[in-house]
Amino acid sequence: METTTRSAVWPWISTLARVGLAAVWLIAGATKIGDLAESARAVNAYQLVSYDVAKMIGGVQPFLEIGLGVLLLIGLATRLTAAISAVLLVIFMAGIVWAWTKGLRIDCGCFSSGGELGAGRNTTYGLDILRDLGFLALAGVLLWRPRTRYSIDGVLMGESS
């Protein structure tokens, strides 16, 4: 592929990564925002922090996720938002690994209310980590190539979509 063709394709690939990661954050935040107490219980199930800290994290997390999703969707501060996304995803994966190594039987709470699993339900830690690695790859694309189509960043830089 010629260099000019490659340079024309990357903004489209990055746009797909941006919109895909935006959808992840918007869906994740939307599933939690309706019940912040349940979100706090999901954070508390990891047994990493006190319940008071878990309440604070559980109360802030859905708004942070929705905020990241909106910023990515409109394409504002794309590289910074991708960096924050990458950090959060690494923290989430570390939490899942923690729960797995400690033998906790919890739902990660990524796209649900989370918390301890009921009888007969199995953990999906390996799949959760693989999924989050895929999301981390989307953030990586945006860190590497943040120029995307149909974004406020592009308008501010004087680029046409």
Q: What is the DSSP string of 137-161?
A: HHHHHHHH----SS-HHHHHTT---
Could you state, in order of their start, the residue ranges of all structural domains in the chain? 3-153
Nearest residue to 146 via CA among 85, 87, 79? 79
Beta strands in the chain, from DSSP E residues, in sequence order: 106-107, 115-116
Tell me the CA distances in angstroms from 99 to 56, 105, 115, 129, one per residue in order: 20, 8, 11, 12
Q: What is the pLDDT of residue 111?
A: 86
Q: What is the pLDDT of residue 22?
A: 98
Q: Which DSSP letter does residue 1 get?
A: -
161 residues of the chain, pLDDT tens digit each: 556 777 889 999 999 999 999 999 999 999 999 999 999 999 999 999 999 999 999 999 999 999 999 999 999 999 999 999 999 999 999 999 999 999 999 988 888 777 788 777 888 999 999 999 999 999 999 999 999 999 999 888 877 55
